[in-house]
Structure 1
Amino acid sequence: MWNSILGGDDEEERDERFFDDQTTTDDELCNLSYTQRIYAFAACLIAGLLFIFLSLIVFIRPIKFALLFTFGNMLAVGSTAFLIGPAEQLRKMFDPVRVYATAVYLGCAILALICAILIHSKILTMLAMICEICALIWYSLSYIPFARRVVSDVMVRLFDTEI
C-alpha cells in the first residue's frame, strides 16, 4: 500500500513482473534487508538450539526426544537459508560432495519422526535418532575441508574399519 502511495510498485504489478521475468535472483525474491536476514537467522538458530536443549531434558522419553531434537535440527540447519537464500542452501545441500550425506541425514530424520509419531516404538526411535545424529555429524563435516577424510583415517586406525 505505502509503495503505491510513495510512487513505488504495488503488489500486483510486482507479482506480474515476477511471473513474466524468468531471470530473477534470490535477492530479488527476498524482501528482507541484510539486518532482517541476520535477525531471522539468529532467531531460527536460537529456536533450533532451544528445541535441542529441551530434547535433552526429556531424553528419557524417546518419542518426545525425537520430536524435539529433529525439529530443532531442522530449524538449526535451515537457519542458514536466511543468510545465503533458500535456493543456494538447497544447491549446497545437494552438491555432489554432500548429496549422500544430505540424503542420509534427511532420511534418518524422517525415519525418526515416523518411528516416534506413527510406530510409537522407543527402541526403533532411539536407533533412528542415533543414525540421525551420526548422519548430522557426517553432513556437518562435509562443510569443513578434509574433515571427513580425517575422520575416516581415524576410524581406520582405531577400529580397523572405514566409513
Structure 2
Amino acid sequence: MDKLRRVLSGREDNEELGLTAQVLDGSSLSFSTRVKWFVICFAGGILCSILGSALLFLPGSGIKLFAVFYTLGNIAALSSTCFLMGPLKQLKRMFEPTRLIATIIMLLCFALTLCAVFWWHKKGLAIIFCILQFLAMTWYSISYIPFARDAVMKCFTTCLN
C-alpha cells in the first residue's frame, strides 16, 4: 500500500529498481554512488589486467588466461566511465569523430584477441592484439585531455627526426 501511495504522489524511489536498471538510467544514481561504482569497476579492471599479466607466465594455458583477463580488465576500465557520465553519453562520446578510429580499433582488438586465443589458437597473435589494445586504449584515453594527442604526435615526430 505504501508503494502505491508513493507512485500516486510521484515520490517513487529508485531503490526498487535493480542495479542494472539504475545503471542504464544514469540519472537515477547519486553522485557518490556513481563515484563508488566507477572506482570499483576501474579498480576491478586494473586488477584483472594485473592478474592477467601475472598469469602470462604460467606454462600451458597462461597466454589464454592472460588474453582473457587483460581484455576483461580493459573492458571493465572502459565501462567504468559509464558510471560517471551514463552509458548513452559514454557511447556518444566514444563515437565522436575525434575518437572514432581509436574506438573502432580498440573494440576490434578486444574481439580479435579473444578470437586469436580461442578459435585460431595463435598465441603470438593474441599478444600482438593485446599490445594493440593497450595502444588503442592509450590513444583513446588521451583524447579526453585537451591537446594531449598533439603533444604526443609532436614528441614522436621530434624523436624520429
Q: TM-score, normalised by structure 1?
A: 0.79
Q: 1:3 to 1:142 in 2, by over 3 A?
A: same
Q: 1:129: which partner in 2?
A: 130
Q: 2:72: which partner in 1?
A: 71
Cα distance in structure 1, aligned partners of 2:108 and 2:55: 23
Helix, strand or coil: the match of 1:145?
coil
Q: 1:47: which partner in 2?
A: 44
TM-aligned CA deviation for residue 99 of structure 1: 0.9
Cα distance in structure 2, aligned partners of 1:99 and 1:142: 11
Helix, strand or coil: the match of 1:120?
coil
TM-aligned CA deviation for residue 2 of structure 1: 5.2
Q: 2:120: which partner in 1?
A: 119
From 13, 30, 33, the counterpart of 1:36: 33
From 38, 56, 59, the counterpart of 2:56: 59
Q: 1:158: which partner in 2?
A: 159
Helix, strand or coil: the match of 2:119?
helix
Q: 1:84 to 1:116 in 2, by over 3 A?
A: same
Deviation beyond 4 Å, 4+ runs, structure 1: 26-30
Cα distance in structure 1, aligned partners of 2:118 and 2:24: 37
Give me the CA root mean square deviation. Answer: 2.3
TM-aligned CA deviation for residue 33 of structure 1: 2.6
* Identical columns (%): 34
TM-aligned CA deviation for residue 116 of structure 1: 1.4
Once the two structures are superposed, the pairs formed by residues 132-147 of structure 1 within 5 Å of their partners are 132-147=133-148
Cα distance in structure 2, aligned partners of 1:50 and 1:78: 15
TM-aligned CA deviation for residue 149 of structure 1: 1.2
Q: Deviations over 1:21-64 (max 9, x none)?
A: xxxxx996653332322222122112111101101211232221
